[in-house]
Amino acid sequence: MFKRILIANRGEIAVRVIRACQELDIETVAVYSEADANALHVQLADQSVFIGPSDASESYLNKAAILNAARESGADAIHPGYGFLSEDADFAEQVSEAGLTWIGPMPETIRLVGDKDIARAAIAPSGIPMAKGSNPLANREEAIAAARKVGYPVILKPVAGGGGKGMCVAHDEKDLCNILDYLVDITKTKYYFEHYIEHSRHIEVQIVADNYGEVLHLGERECSLQRRNQKLLEESPSIALTQDMRDRVGRLAVKAAKSVHYSNIGTVEFLLDLSNNEFYFMEINPRIQVEHGITEAVTGFDLVRTQIRIAAGEALEITQDDVRFTGHAIECRINAEDPDNHFMPSPGQITFLHEPSGPRVRFDSGVTAGLSIEPYYDSMIAKIIVHGRTRGDAIKIMERALKEFRIDGVKTTVSLHKKILKDTYFRTGNIDTQFIKHRMHAYESTEKKDGAKEINASTYFA
């Protein structure tokens, strides 16, 4: 096992990794930028190393500075968390070349699944269903021809990257031309098309794989509630799936992982076409996910400790038959944004913070009262995770937790989460990937009756 791990990240995920290391009796090293000098992850770690200015490109994305910090602190492994350098195959390779252990998939695996076009080609021989798609696009004319061949509507995706960033949907050729005008040069960022399944649910499956060929899944997460392809609320399990469907998508995820010789933990993402209940492969995320906590809640399986143990060379001690699922879990992502003002970021100092707690409530955060939310980084400041006996039970627990949560000094998305949880369509499970876009109109009507500020949902939700 490792003696000391450097966490190449910040915020709540850095805190989460520190806690897992403490439980494993492993020392931790935090890295921090100028803006994060007093951050919670810095306070909790055994050591901390300054790595640069507030701008992430000069600190948390500064590979040389992070490797120097690892050498100076005597770390023997690096955990990248999510975001920043977590999917950078070159950095993972540099970590290994420096004599350190990378806590994640092998660099060649990250490189393979990080390019969606190459990943689709690698997985296709296994027979896993995929939405009809195109090759990477070379120019405007090729894009228009490819869209006609794939069939509208189409979704234009960058070949590299994740988190829903850079995706655009075209319902016809006019839409596509407008998008291409906006992108200016599609060769600067490689894009490709997939046929866009409008009436669908976003289902992802957690996979765990050791270095000895054992691969298993820990069930699915429902991630359909999204704004501009960014997840807002996640659940496990998905109430859209029968047991047969659940078993089927689990087998597909394991098959996909084995086809790319995956190791450590990751997520295989699918679209569930609600017109025929077929699953279509989207991508593999080679890292810990923001929403990993709901899987931990329903399985009792600590994913971060598992990451560390697999990287240290330990074999999985369980098989698929040992995995048990209990109850229902929901996660709300709390962003420092103002939902009544176009979801504008809300930086500022937190003057008061009361964390929700009580039975079956987990609060993952990287902030405390007195700290400032800086404009340099992602706006997510916390996650509330609840675990109930049933979905209805979990909804009631989350409502209590959101009501108990208090924060002053910055605006947050808590008010939007409260509306979602009260929504009849959500409560009955009648949701899909267009839920937020369509249901925001109902929320607007309520706000107008209450005299609140009117917003135009069609402008702000994609």
Q: Which residues are catalytic?
A: 287
The CA distance from 267 to 286, in Å, is: 7
Burial class (CB in 10 A: 0-12, 13-18, 19+), 403: exposed
In single-letter form, the type of residue at position 86 comes to S
CA angle centred on 280, ends 380 and 326, rounded to 5°: 60
Give the DSSP letter string of 350-384: --EEE---STTEEEEES--TT-EE-TTS-SEEEEE
Give the DSSP letter string of 102-157: ESSS-HHHHHHHHSHHHHHHHHGGGT--B--B-PPP-SHHHHHHHHHHH-SSEEEE
In single-letter form, the type of residue at position 314 comes to E
Q: What are phi and psi of 204, to 5 degrees?
A: -125, 150
DSSP letter for 316, please. Answer: P
CB 278, CB 129: distance < 8 Å: yes
The CA distance from 440 to 377, in Å, is: 26
The CA distance from 52 to 59, in Å, is: 5
Strand, helix or coil at 206? strand
The neighbouring-strand residues paired with 52 are 33
CB 195, CB 132: distance < 8 Å: yes
